[in-house]
Amino acid sequence: MTHRGWIGLLLLTTMAWGQAPKMPSNPAPSKPATPSHATADRAAPGMGVSRDAAVITIPGLCDKPAVSKSPGTSADKPKTADCKTVVTRGEFERLVDAVAPDLPPANRKQLATQYGIALVMVHKAHEMGLDQGPKFQELMRVARVGVLTKELNQSVQEEAEAGRVTDADVAKYYHDNEAAFQEVELQRVFIPRGKQTADDKEKAGTEDAKKLQQESEEAMKKLADSVQTRAAAGEEFEKLQAEAFTAANVKGKPPTRLGKVRRTGLPSTQGEVFNLKPGETSQLLTTPNGYLLYKGGEKDTLPLEKVSDEIASALRAQRVQDSLQAIQQSATPELNEKYFAEATPSATQGTDPGKTGPKAPAKSPESGPK
């Protein structure tokens, strides 16, 4: 990581605003936490170095250097040889525990180097008086809010992970959400919304290009309807997919056999395909990039023992979310609508509300189904 990266790590850790964690769709089983110092002592290099020994030394850097008078002069000069800033192993490992507890031992030397540079910069900022005045005090107040919010999130999460999720909790969640653990064998055809041409970018925005684009989209929609009819009649999906891409002037061919797919593996807008009977073909599903067609196959439901760890992790995440939501809803901020209503127009100055932004470039067909 670069110098800016490590400093960014320190600043982001200090200033980050805590956010409630989202429920993962397929959460991984949680791992028990291990004490940071114990991990560092086992894995960090330099095991013969005591916790009071210096691991970072910055010669010539100190807030109150010793001074002496040179012969024949009245000016005080710092004895830079005696002036230094020292960070001990214990101090450095406390820093690691606070800002990057999972940092691999191999990266600690790099962090120490960049932290030393940061101390030099902080010292210079202090000499310039940048740590004085109302702006600095406000930044420190905001930093405190960020740190405490982050620590609250961490504390709530650790408490939820420490709480026991019983087998009864897991079984109840499984039976209450059994549909989420269904799998279905699926085939899929993707029909692009329009045809690709080599001069699309050159003619973009012209009247001729708009007319050609409209005709292209109408032709592909007509083809999509035909593909749906033929698929329902039993034609092979691989053949239909190849035909659709050839008509759209698209190279390559995405796979039509998706294997067994869970509900969490598709967007919620495509959830209806899980209601298909084996061998049944869906209606056309419209996406921003084209049209999708599915054929259902064999269905089954994952057994409880196979998803119990996933469910336990989901329940812990839900507890975190519920706890943070309860805290956030314990007091509701009230905003001065007059102030914010007057401030809102400035965000749109210089824009023409009658115009829309440029049309987004077409995505690759392979990304379309997603």
Residue 138 pLDDT exceeds 50? yes
Residue 145 confidence (pLDDT) above 70: yes
Adjacent-strand bridge partners of 348: none
Q: Which of 265, 264, 263, 270 is nearest to 287 (CA)?
A: 270
205 lies in a domain?
A: yes
**6 occurs within a structural domain:** no
191 and 298 co-located in one domain: yes
According to the model, what pLDDT value does residue 82 have? 75
Stretch among 212-226, 311-325, 338-352 having the lowest mean pLDDT: 338-352
* Whether residues 187 and 299 fall in one domain: yes
97 and 209 in a common domain: no
How many angstroms separate the CA atoms of 250 and 244, rounded? 9
Domain end position, chosen among 128, 143, 160 = 128
Note whether residue 224 is domain-resident. Answer: yes
pLDDT (mean) for 233-252? 94
d(CA 82, CA 76): 15
Round to whole Å and give the CA distance between 172 and 166: 10
Summary mean pLDDT of the chain: 80
- Considering the domain architecture, whether residues 287 and 194 belong to the same structural domain is answered as yes
Residue linked to tokens 């796979």 = 255
Quote the distance between the C-alpha of residue 368 and its chain's center: 22
The 3-state DSSP class for residue 76 equals strand
Q: Based on the domain organization, do 104 and 193 belong to the same domain?
A: no
Range of the domain at 99: 35-128
Q: b/e string for 325-334 if b means 16 or more Cβ within 10 A? A: eeeeeeeeee
Give the residue, 46 or 340, on which the prediction is more confident: 340
Q: Which residues contact 4 (CB under 8 A, 6 or more apart)?
A: none
Q: Give the Cα separation of 313 and 170 in Å (integer).
A: 10
Higher-confidence residue of 354 and 90: namely: 90
- String of b and e for 301-311 (b: at least 16 CB within 10 Å)? ebebeebbebb
Q: With pLDDT > 70 as the criterion, what percentage of the chain qualifies?
A: 72
Which residue, 287, 303, 319, sits at the end of a domain? 303
What pLDDT sits at residue 43?
Answer: 47
Per-residue model confidence as pLDDT tens digits over 281-297: 999 999 999 999 999 99
CB 266 within 8 A of CB 202: no
Asked if residue 273 belongs to a domain, the reply is yes
Residue 286: predicted pLDDT: 94
Indicate the SS3 state at residue 213: helix
Query: Is position 25 within any domain?
Result: no
Tokens of 344: 């809102």
- The answer to whether residue 217 is domain-embedded is yes
Q: CA separation (Å) from 58 to 1, 118, 187, 263, 350?
A: 22, 11, 64, 57, 51
User: What integer is the mean pLDDT of 148-176?
Assistant: 92
pTM metric for this prediction:
0.57
Domain C-terminal end among 247, 281, 303: 303
Residue 219 inside a domain? The answer is yes
CB 160 within 8 A of CB 319: yes
Distance CA 268, CA 140 (A): 43
CA atoms of 35 and 43, how far apart (whole Å): 12
Q: How confident is the model at residue 76 (pLDDT cuts 50, 70, 90)?
A: very low
pLDDT digits (tens, 9 = 90+) for 82-126: 789 999 999 999 999 998 999 999 899 999 999 999 999 999 999
Within-domain flag for 92? yes
Task: Count the domains in the chain.
Answer: 2
The CATH number of whichever domain residue 257 belongs to comes to 3.10.50.40
Query: What's the CA angle centered on 177, arms 330 and 262, to 5 degrees?
Result: 115
**The total number of residues written for the chain in this structure:** 370
**Spatial distance between the Cα atoms of 295 and 234, rounded to a whole number of angstroms:** 10
187 and 294: one domain?
Answer: yes
Residues 123 and 193 in one domain: no
CA distance 96 to 81: 29
Cβ atoms of residues 96 and 111 within 8 Å: yes
CA distance 352 to 117: 47
- Sequential DSSP letters for 279-296: TPBPPPEEETTEEEEEEE
CA separation for the pair 185, 278 (Å, rounded)? 9
